[in-house]
Structure formats: C-alpha cells, structure tokens
Amino acid sequence: KLDQESTLTLNDALAACGMTDAFGDQADFSAITGSKNNLYISSVLQKTYIEVSEKGTKAAAATEIGIETMAMPVEADPVVADRPYVYMIVDLEHSVPLFVGRVVNIPAQ
C-alpha cells in the first residue's frame, strides 16, 4: 500500500531550464491578453497525489500558475498619519464606496 502527496514550487526548476523571461520585468503575455499589461508569473506550484492499494491505483496532478501585475515605480513624499483619519475603498466606475474605515488610536512613534 502507498498513499502519498506532494506540493512543489517549480519556479527555480523552470528558470534552470531556460524559462526566465516569464518571471520578471521582461515577461510579455500580450498574445494571451491582447494588450501589453505588464503581467508576469509569480509562482508555479504542482501538487501530486498517488494511492496504490489492493483495489488498484489512483493518481492525480494539478499545476497552479500565479500571475501578477508589475507596478510602475512611484516617487512620492511620505505620508505621516499622526492623527485620526478615515479611509475608503471606492468603485470609481460607479462612485460607490465599497469599504469605509477609520483609525482613531495612533501609536506613538
């Protein structure tokens, strides 16, 4: 009898095989998305499972590819939040607040 599963991160193995562009700034997935939108692969995980018993063998594998977007570098003055404030997450398309929060206890720095 055997019952085993594993999860592997394949980023390093794929990069060692020559697949390096997809993991950084030089990634170009415009053929998939139809536009240059600065996507890159953040992680490749593979999960496998096998069970062997007197009744037979069951096996499965699945691969997950995490995609993220690259952000433009932003230079801005630091924000100092040293008094209570309110913040919001807003759906700009519909002008609807999705979340509103407030901070009232500011820790001393």
pLDDT of 61: 92
| Host H or E run for residue 64 | strand 56-69
The answer on pLDDT for 109 being more than 80 is no
Kindly report, residue by residue over 39-77, the tens digit of the pLDDT: 899 999 999 999 999 998 999 999 999 988 876 666 778
For residues 89 and 85, give the distance between their C-alpha atoms in angstroms, rounded to a whole number: 14
Kindly report, residue by residue over 75-101, the tens digit of the pLDDT: 778 877 788 888 888 889 999 988 888
Phi, psi of 31 (to 5 degrees): -70, -25
Specify the pTM. Answer: 0.56
Burial class of residue 44 (count of CB atoms within 10 Å of its CB; 0-12, 13-18, 19+): buried
Domain ranges of the chain: 1-71
